[in-house]
Amino acid sequence: MVYKKIHAIIGHISNALCWVSAAAMIAMSLVSGINVFMRYVLKSPWTGAEEIVQVSLAVFVYAALSLAIRKGTMTSVPVIAEKLKPRPRNIMNAIGNFACAIIASFVMYELTISLSTKISNLKRYATTILRIPEAYIYLLVIICYVLITIELLMKGIDQIMEAVHPTEENKMPEQAESEVN
């Protein structure tokens, strides 16, 4: 019961961040288009456009990543997994998700250390032209990594549960026949 509520809450947060990601993509596209127009037609580039695009790109990528993990739309090459039966495939995928969650935790730890130095001096650690404080970007990325780690752990738990208690569509043919008889 609690697991399902946590899963739903994380899903709502991931969906909200996906909208943030979409807004960042739109901003990135608009700024790039305006900058191209200003640079080549008006012969005067937009000062700071590259910084806005870089910040928007970071927001775009990290804000959408937890939802991509949740929906399983990440790029994969199922060379080995497709040849396995459902139970070993679920176990292998769970181990992979747990390993990725551990790596995401290490990255989150390193980002937290970097954030502490950025927060101590907001003016020193800012983008060059527009002076956008990097601490806010690091904070958003850390929040996204927390969600990514939780999504990977929950996906791994779901896959272990599926391996232990398979649903009807993932049961082996011999299991389905023995339950019918």
d(CA 18, CA 145): 14
Share of the chain above pLDDT 70, in %: 90
Average pLDDT over residues 39-67: 92
pTM recorded for the entire structure: 0.80
Digit-coded pLDDT (tens) for 124-157: 778 888 888 888 888 899 999 999 999 999 999 9
pLDDT at position 46 over 60: yes
Digit-coded pLDDT (tens) for 13-43: 999 999 999 999 999 999 999 999 999 999 9
